Structure formats: C-alpha cells, structure tokens
Structure 1
Amino acid sequence: MGFWCVAITYMLRVCLNIAITQMVIESSKNNTHIDPNSCPDPQNQILVQTFEVFNVHNRYDWDEELQGIILGAFYYGYVLTHVPGGLIAEKYGAKYTAGIGVLITALLTIATPFFIDFGGSTALIVVRAVEGIGEGPMFPAMSTLMSCWVPKQERGIMGSLIFGGAQIGNILGMVISGFLMDAEGNWPSVFYTFGSLGVVWFILWTILVYSEPKLHPFISDDEKAFLEKHIEEKTKKRVPWKPFLLSIPLWSIVIAAIGHDWGYFTIVTDLPKYMTEVLKFNISSTGLLAALPYAVMWITSMIFGSICDLLIKKGYISIKNSRKLYTTIGAIGPGVFIVGASYVGCDATLSVAMFTIGMGFMGAYYCGMKVNVLDITPNYAGTATAFINGIAAISGIITPYIVGVIAPNHTSREWQTVFWIVLAVLFVTNVIYIAFAEGEELWWNDIEKNGYPSNWKSSENDEENETTK
C-alpha cells in the first residue's frame, strides 16, 4: 500500500506534464523559428496544431515561460507542508497524514478542467499549488511508517520498493495520459481518470493500513514479536531543533537531495516536451517512450536495493560507505547519459536509450541517500524527511522555469544547455554528500540515551533539555 501511495501521488503529479502538450496552442513565434538542427516532423504535427487553433475547444495560448510557471506551481505548495506533515505524522500517526493529503489532491485533480474553464491559467496555478500542499506530507509520513515497520537490515530493498512507486506512477501517468488523449481526443479525461484512481486508493488505504504494528488488528503474533525485537519503539518527543539544524550529516543529505531532485524533476517535467518539440514524437508515442526510463529505473532500484542489503548483511561494506557508493552511482550515471542523449541528433532510438540508461542509474539513489535519514535519526525520520524533501523540492519550482527561459525556441542546442546544467548540479551536490554523510545513528536522535558530546556547551544543554521535555 505504501508503494501504491507513492505511485498514485506521482500519477496525480505528472499527468499534467503530458496533458499540457495538447492543452496549449503552438506559438506562432516558435512555429516560424528555424532550427538548423531540427528533427524532421514525419506527421507535420506543427502545421496540424496551427490549423486546429481555431477549431478545437479548450486550447490555450500560454507561452513557454507561463507553461514553466504552471508546471512548477505544484511545488509552491509542496514545499510548504513537508515539515508540518512530518511533525503531524510523528505525533498523531502517519496513516491519515498521508491519506487525507492524497485524497485532497485526487479530488482537485478531478475538478481541474472545471477550474481551468472558470479561471484559466491563474486558476490552474492555484489548483496545482493546493495539490502540492496535499501531497507534501506524503513522503515524511511514509518515512515515519517505515521507521515503525521496517528493520534496519531491510531498509535498502523496502525503501527501493516503496519509493520506487514513483517510477510506476510516472510510467502509468505518462502512458495512460498519452493513450487517453490519443483515443478520446481530449485532455480533461486524463484528470478525471487519475483523480478517480486516487479516491479508490484512499478507500483501500483507510481499511488496510495502520500507523504502528501494535495498532494493526490483523497482524500475527509472530510478526509483531519480530518487529518488536528488531525495531526500537519510538518515543514521541519534541524535535531537538538546535542540533537538528546544525547537523552537517543531515545537511549533506539535503544537498544530495537537491541534486537528485534537480535531475529528476527536469526529466519528469520536461522530457515529454523535449520528445514532442525536438524529437517530434506524436502524443501517444511521447507518453509511452517518456515512461520507458522510469520502468528501467524502477527495476534497477530493486536490483540496487537487494545488492545493497546483501553486502551490508555480509559485512562487505559499511552502511555509511554503501550510502555514499549508491548515491554516487545515482548522480553521475544519469548526468553523463542525459547530456549524451542531447548530442545524438535525430536518432530517436539512441536518444531514448541514453535517457533510459541514465535513469536506470538513478535507481541507485533509493538505497543511497533516500534511506540514509532512517540510519541517522529513526526517531525523527518523518521530520527529517520533511526537512530534506521540502528544501530539495524547490528544484521542482526552479527547473521548469529555467527550461522555459533557456529553451523558448525548442532547439536542440538550447536543450543541451539545460542538460549540462543538470550534470553540473548532480556532480557538485554528490561531492558534498560524499564528504560529510554518515551511516549510523547521530547522538541527538536520542539525547536521553546518548547524552551530549563534550563540545556541546552547558547552556545549550539546558536549552535542549527544555525543548525535549
């Protein structure tokens, strides 16, 4: 159910990325721009779009910059509810913290066509921002659930399975969106379909999922005993904010997450636009081929997670070095292949292959820095995940806008610049993570048990004692 929680939220998030390719009228300015390196358009799609401007209802004249703002609007709200969501999940339970947020997003998705008819691009921006507010608590709540249900030696594979739902969500969101618009001939069906799936998921989640093993009415005695043995019971304490905010290992995860999200959101949000604008794929092919890299990423995340857990259990590598190794694989591999994909010209097969291989390497992130927060602070996993994802998600606001500014004419050279920036961000953030990441519980995760380090001033001790009471 955690896997499908993540998958559903990504379907609700990415369906607009495909739909917007058919919601928007091709700008006459861009139609007349001549790109000497432009790929041939076998179906003459640009002329068809220009002819249909006056005959098709619900098409909008939104320029590239406005489209970037619309695609990034989700993250305006998304970054706001991470930390509150983590705190609520830790104090009151993760079940409804995640569930109600996703339900809100699903209902707004169903209503999206109505809001666009009513208020145009402004209404769409507001709706997407509120949807982001709904989804913001999901990842912190999921980390809180994992800290209650998943033993340390199984976090690599379990984290890859649950968080890998993002790739299945991307796959289904893009493929189904493409086929729906190709078959139905209209984009509103995309929002009705995925919003309805979200409502069905919420009903099942409410029946089947519980925040802690001791609350679950169907759990076996053997499983409960196993979890009690391998997972330390969480105590609901206030977050020790001062050491939390001054923790260098925690900030290294934040930096690595910024790099991951920068690359990931650039591809998730803008790969469909790249395929339609540069490679000239039709809408059905765009949904299918844009989803292929995420299918491979999901498979490789499971492979990397299994190998990671096996090597740790066998004692061949420490948790710290394992997290650094797989984070590096997840950063450098995608950066190199994404840049390479932009230099293969109009060879669509090779371009898709390069994107696919690159995103396959990104699957290593899930058993790397994505689960690292459970290693260093299991007691505050929800809050820490919220803090990390909330800051990193700002990339989702920045990257679509940057693409709109850097690639207004849809030329291959403009997109090369976009992908070089992705590689640079991935490389720099990974170097910082390697330098400062840790793999074991930090002292402030349980101050009562671990005490204060010798270099922590006594006045600060008194202050923290007050905040943790």
Structure 2
Amino acid sequence: MERDGIPTAKSGIEKSAFGVRHLQSMLIFFGLCAVFMMRVNLSVAIVAMMDRNSTNPDFPDYDWSEQTKSLLLSSFFWGYFLTQIPGGQLSERFGGKVMLLFSVGTSGFLALFTPLSARVGDWQLTCALRFLQGFCQGVIYPSTHTLLAKWAPPAERGVLATLCFSGSQFGSIIMLAVSGALAASAYGWPSIFYMSGCCGVLWAIVWLFLGADSPRESKIISTNERNYIETTLGAISKSENKSSTSKLPTPWLSIFTSVPFWMLLIACCAYNWGYWTLMTQIPSYMKSVLGKDIKSNALLSALPYAANLLLGLGFCALAQVLLSMQLLSTNASRKVFNTIGMWIPMAAIIALGFVGKEQADMAVVLLTVAVGTNSASFLGSFVNHIDLAPNFAGTLMGITNCAANVMSVIAPLVVGLVVTDTTNTTQWRLVFMIMALYYFSGNLLFITLGSTKLQSWNEPTKRREKREHIEFQAVANEKDHI
C-alpha cells in the first residue's frame, strides 16, 4: 500500500516502532540542546560578569559599556551568518555526521576557554572567540537537514525533525533555569561556560560512536529497519550504484528559479521575522507598556521556551496519530501545521496589541501562546527542504536560514525605527501589525504556491542524461526524414 507515492508498512516493508532513526533524532536533540546552551550562555552570564557589586576577586567584574555588551552579544551571529550556505555544501560533501561532530565539539572547547579569554584578552578576545563559535555553529541546521534526508522516511519527516529541533528550546530552558544558581555557586559565573562547554564536548564523544551519516553506514541498525528506511526513500539503488563520497553538482539555477523553493524561503523569512521580534522586543514592550518585567523573572523568561518545547512535542504526537490514521497527505500535513505555526501566533500578537496595562497577565498568556504554537512550523516549512530535494537539503537549508537570519537582524532595526517612545501603545501596535502581515502573507504564499513534490532538479545527472537522450532521439528522427 502507498500514500503520496511512499511505501508503507502495509506494502510488505517492516516498520519498527522505535529504531535507530529515532536514536539519531534523540542524539541530534541533545546536540542542539548543547548548542543552544552555548549560544545563550553569554547572554545570561554577562549580567554577573558586569556586576560591579561583586566582591569575589576570583571572579572579576568587567567595566564594559552597553555598546561593548551589544558587540559581545552580536559577535556570535556575525560568524553564524557566514557559514550557512557553505555549511550545506560541506555537509553534503563530507556528511552531516562529521560536520556536526566538528561544530558541536569545537564550540564546546571554545566555551570552556571563554572565562580565560575574558581574563587574558578582555572583551576583544572574547568577541573573537564568540565569532569563532558562531562560525562553527553555522553548519548545524544544514547538517541536521542533510542527516534527516538520509534517516527520516518521508511519512515521518515532520515528527523526527520536530524531535530534533525541539532540542534548541530545551537547551535554552536549561540555561535560563540553572544560570542563576551557577553564578551564585562557589565556582561563580565561569561555571556557566564550563557546564555548557562540557555538555558540548561530551555530546561530541557520544556522537562519534553512535552517530551515522545514513542507515547503510550505521553499525547498530537492524537489517529490517535499514530496508524500511532505504526503500521508503528510494535509496537502495543509489547506494548500490554510486559511492557514498560522490557529490552531485548543485543545480543553482534550478534552485533559484524554483517557485516552491521561493515560497519556502519566504515562509522561513516570515517565521524568523516574527519569532525574533517576539523574543527580542516583547520583553521591552511588556516592561514599558504593561509594567511587567519578564526578563527579571526566571519563570516568565523560560515560559515561552517551555511552551514551544511542550507544544512542539504535542504537535509531534498529533502528527503521528494523523499519520497512523492516514487522514492527511504529506502536502496537506505540511500546510496545516505551518498554518497553525504562523496564523495562530498572528492572531495572538494582534490581540496583544490591544491588551491594556490592567490585563498584563493576559499579555503573558498571549505571548506564551504565540511563541508556543510557533513550534508547529517544525512540521511544516522546516522540513519542506527535504520534500523538495533530499539530495540538496543541506544547501537549501543553508540558503533559507541565511536569508532568515537577515530578517532576524532587520526586524529589531525596524522596531527601533517605529518605536521612538517605548511607552507609546500605538507605535507598538504598528509593530505587531507589521509582524502579523509577515506571518499572514508568508504562510498564504506557502499554502497556495508551495509544494511537497520532489523536484526534477533533485537529481541533475539524471535530468541531464534525459535531456541528452531526447536530443539524441531528435537528431536520429531528423536523419530518418532525410
């Protein structure tokens, strides 16, 4: 039996309930957890690092200006932006396993040396170190997509991808939850970097032994599960006929002239615009307009991340039920969940713009709903790269993530232009309307013009051979008429 052209367990292929593909997803979950712990560790540690009331000589405070603080916090993203597209190319050339190993392991070692860099080289060396961390971590998402393209059966892509990406929220929650206690401990603020760095290094060691680029390269997978994955991916013949180190030429022109890819890119940009506006600007709105300082409240700070994690796992369970009951096609599933992930936050953020100071608790609820339901997009546009072209999933993710990160830089700048008075509710309402417009238009284009159909340029070699065959036939027919 097939659904969307994909063989299912009922068609004679044995499907295991839990297998090595789930183990790979769990490993990536914890890898992303470690990565985001290292990504946000400076954001939470810098408060203690700049605490001039500290009397402990072992953990000095730094007299950094707000401008220097901004440079330190943004330096990570300078490097992160540079390696998005190269990261996709490298993961397709050398494999997602080695790129994740290098990225997380190197980031872990750099995190361990952060306290020393601050002591020896002040903010300049710390800034350079954070740049290098971002440079290393730019390959994370492209490599994850490259691995999912090899490990996730088409019908399970959304679920396995959501499981992987939920690790980022889990890592942020852990860092927010323990940073205060670590900073107040006998080991001081350096322990924040030591803990996150150790997690990265330990994960890299585990990944070295248990991670694999594909089912065929895994030493612990069963024959039945390997056959199930490879058959549903249509990968058996490819694995037999070409070397695992062979590299298809990237069809750049076909990618950038593909309508489904452009719809995917627009959806990813709209998601990032909304997500980063919520995470970076809403705390200012809550404090200035509603008088609720969620940054100083650890519980409220972690609440949106926790909602995103829990709802993401809940959407996973829902998708699994819909999958087992075969109620939605792959195309419908991607678009339904992407709509949940963008239009429910749109509605919540519009409502937030009309909440008064006396309803501050309602504002927290709306913010939590907006950030939490964003996670449904993991089952939508986040995995559409693999639907369109599994052979180039890493490159596609690199391109869309690169463009999306530009949005995460532009969005706060737009807020700065619009909001000249942080207590002005009308100005904030305009910010919310701009964000809602992005959510609405981005998802509308995705559900109307987007696609989950495998693109012809996924295998450019076959496409070229087909074209040459057609040309040869045309020449032969012409000769027959002469």
Q: Which has the higher contact order (CA 8 A, sep 6+)?
A: 1
Equivalent-residue separation in structure 2 for 1:180 and 1:274 (angstroms): 29
**Greater shift in the superposed pair: 403-412 or 82-91:** 403-412
Q: Does 1:161 align with 2:163?
A: yes
Whether the 8 Å contact between 2:248 and 2:460 is mirrored in structure 1 is: no
Per the alignment, residue 367 of structure 1 pairs with 379
Amino acid at match of 2:65: W
Offset, 1:385: 1.2
Q: What residue ranges of structure 2 are gaps of 5+ in the alignment?
A: 1-26, 472-482
Per the alignment, residue 462 of structure 1 pairs with none
**Greater shift in the superposed pair: 15-24 or 352-361:** 15-24
Per the alignment, residue 28 of structure 1 pairs with none
Equivalent-residue separation in structure 2 for 1:376 and 1:256 (angstroms): 15
Match of 2:261 among 250, 258, 264: 250
Local SS of the residue matching 2:82: coil
Per the alignment, residue 104 of structure 1 pairs with 106
Local SS of the residue matching 1:11: helix
Local SS of the residue matching 2:293: coil
Offset, 1:71: 3.0
Q: Does 1:14 align with 2:16?
A: no
Offset, 1:366: 0.5
Alpha-carbon distance change, 68 to 232 in structure 1, aligned in 2, over 3 angstroms: farther
Q: What residue ranges of structure 1 are gaps of 5+ in the alignment?
A: 26-48, 459-469
Alpha-carbon distance change, 276 to 183 in structure 1, aligned in 2, over 3 angstroms: farther
Per the alignment, residue 404 of structure 2 pairs with 392
Equivalent-residue separation in structure 1 for 2:264 and 2:182 (angstroms): 39
Equivalent-residue separation in structure 1 for 2:283 and 2:197 (angstroms): 21
Q: Does 1:425 align with 2:428?
A: no
Offset, 1:439: 1.2
Alpha-carbon distance change, 347 to 8 in structure 1, aligned in 2, over 3 angstroms: farther
Per the alignment, residue 438 of structure 1 pairs with 451
Q: Rg: which structure is higher?
A: 2
Equivalent-residue separation in structure 2 for 1:418 and 1:378 (angstroms): 37
Amino acid at match of 2:257: L
TM-score, scaled relative to structure 2? 0.78
Equivalent-residue separation in structure 2 for 1:205 and 1:276 (angstroms): 42
Per the alignment, residue 232 of structure 1 pairs with 234
**Greater shift in the superposed pair: 126-135 or 311-320:** 311-320
Amino acid at match of 1:422: M
Match of 1:376 among 375, 383, 388: 388
Q: Does 1:58 align with 2:61?
A: yes
Whether the 8 Å contact between 1:14 and 1:269 is mirrored in structure 2 is: no
Equivalent-residue separation in structure 1 for 2:28 and 2:70 (angstroms): 30
Whether the 8 Å contact between 2:149 and 2:386 is mirrored in structure 1 is: yes
Offset, 1:406: 6.5
Per the alignment, residue 31 of structure 2 pairs with 5
Local SS of the residue matching 1:79: helix
Whether the 8 Å contact between 1:443 and 1:451 is mirrored in structure 2 is: no
**Greater shift in the superposed pair: 222-231 or 263-272:** 263-272
Whether the 8 Å contact between 1:89 and 1:144 is mirrored in structure 2 is: yes
Amino acid at match of 1:19: A
Local SS of the residue matching 1:279: coil
Match of 1:335 among 338, 343, 346: 346
Amino acid at match of 2:316: G
Question: Percent identity between the aligned chains?
Answer: 30
Offset, 1:121: 4.1
Amino acid at match of 2:79: G
Q: Does 1:212 align with 2:214?
A: yes
Alpha-carbon distance change, 96 to 411 in structure 1, aligned in 2, over 3 angstroms: farther
TM-score, scaled relative to structure 1? 0.80
Alpha-carbon distance change, 318 to 424 in structure 1, aligned in 2, over 3 angstroms: same
Equivalent-residue separation in structure 2 for 1:408 and 1:18 (angstroms): 27
Offset, 1:363: 1.4
Offset, 1:218: 1.7
Per the alignment, residue 89 of structure 2 pairs with 87
Q: CA RMSD in A?
A: 3.3
Equivalent-residue separation in structure 2 for 1:340 and 1:122 (angstroms): 43
Equivalent-residue separation in structure 1 for 2:324 and 2:123 (angstroms): 52
Offset, 1:179: 3.3
Equivalent-residue separation in structure 1 for 2:399 and 2:386 (angstroms): 13
Q: How do 1:309-320 and structure 2 match up within 5 A?
A: 309-311=320-322, 314-320=325-331
Alpha-carbon distance change, 406 to 189 in structure 1, aligned in 2, over 3 angstroms: farther
Whether the 8 Å contact between 2:153 and 2:233 is mirrored in structure 1 is: yes
Alpha-carbon distance change, 341 to 157 in structure 1, aligned in 2, over 3 angstroms: same
Equivalent-residue separation in structure 1 for 2:162 and 2:358 (angstroms): 34
Alpha-carbon distance change, 123 to 264 in structure 1, aligned in 2, over 3 angstroms: farther
Alpha-carbon distance change, 420 to 71 in structure 1, aligned in 2, over 3 angstroms: farther
Whether the 8 Å contact between 1:253 and 1:437 is mirrored in structure 2 is: yes
